[in-house]
Structure 1
Amino acid sequence: MSTYPHLLSPLDLGHTTLRNRVIMGSMHTGLEDGTKHLDEMAAFFAERAKGGVALSVTGGFAPHWRGWLLPFGSQMTSRRMADKHRIVTDAVHEHDGKIALQILHAGRYGYSPFKKAASTIPSPITPFKASPMSTREVDQTATDFAKSAVLARRAGYDGVEIMGSEGYLINQFLTARTNNRTDKWGGSAENRMRFPIEIVRRTRELVGEDFIIQYRISLLDLVDNAQSWEETATLAKALEAEGVSIFNTGIGWHEA
């Protein structure tokens, strides 16, 4: 391992330590939707932990139904749902691994006529037009992310990943390309950053200090009228100050 001398060394996150620096990023496995495949999901992630992965990240779970990727898709919105996920977290912990639940709101990428987004600007990859969130709905959605994190903790997850990349809802708030709002959630770069900052702040307040908050940040959107590098760096520093434990980087929107 001379080429990557630090890869298998522990990574101190302050409140916990990863046994190495091997992280399995989130992907849509098809096992997240509903609860009937949780035993298969448990086996899938247990194998990764058994192989030495320090931290695995699940596919995306919506913080409420309007954030679904697909109708009746994956979500983490109730204690009943959380309790059923114990089979997954227990399987990973049996092999000394850690696992985080990704919280993802699809926004205008959702394949549903009931989807909500930052603005009405249509998505080129879905046929349905989103309705714009009201100021109150944006505020409630930030809280819903935090509540999903609390449920993830109840389920035994070691942390959550907040999906702020690949063109999903948080990304849609961050760029003028998809955010033409005139309230406190839009306009200036500072206002457009308010949504993810509030999500992280509220999440850390509810889950406490001894819980991983990983934030998936887009380093390069690969679309027109996107975030600048300076805006991305400013956002990362603000999120770290609000309690992000570790960043996972993404590149490119799905429409890129």
Structure 2
Amino acid sequence: MKERLWKNVWVVLYVVLMGVLAIATFLEHAYGTTFVQTHIYHACWFCGLWGALAFGLVRACGECRLWKRLPVLWWHGSLLVILGGAMLTYLTGEKGYVHLVQGQEVKSFIRTSDQQTRALPFSLSLDSFRVVYYPGTEAPSDYKSYVSYKVNGKWKEEVISMNHILSVKGYRFYQSSYDPDLSGSWLSVNHDPWGIAVTYAGYLCLAFSSLWLLGSRRETFSRLLRHPLWRKTGLVWLGVCAFQLTAQARPVSVLARQD
């Protein structure tokens, strides 16, 4: 009874967290990233929710004796590693912005949290800025900053766009905005030396444990595959999937352009 109770508590916390993250996504589109970071991501109640989820996860592992089921224990441990990476990002990560102007060398950025200037371990300058339009229209398709950065006495060139970031010594630069006369570019700066690495390690462990769960003969998925009902209907589902793939592979009719 107690085992089931803790499992239900963890599931409820997980569902609530997923709902909050979904709401935060819509709020970010409506009110901007700063609003969401202030009222949700950096709020005490949100950190408390993460902490409660981690505590419930650890307690569920103990109550359910998951050390006897290594794939499940590994999967739950992966979630804890991901939570740890998120906490490291919150404690050690820095976010800010930098304004680049052609002909000026920049060695610092403005931190968003307190508007203080933080030094960069390298130099950065803007060579030119360009707005790319869709062919035959005035609708922008991309914004590109052609920059140069100096590391260990050597200058290197790079292009920062909406779909391409610049990563130098743990600092990641994203295209954010630009000056109306195209003489300057605004870049978002993200410095997270520990959180990203730990989070990615957690995701790798999660993928490995998921494959382990799928292949383990003691777990639910393997038992479902061996069930007689699945064996009878499995070929039907494979046939349906094959039919859908064949239908999607058919050539699509294209209308000729009318001049």
TM-score (norm 2): 0.24
Larger radius of gyration: 2
* TM value normalised by structure 1: 0.25
Hey, which of these two has a bigger chunk of helix by percent? 2
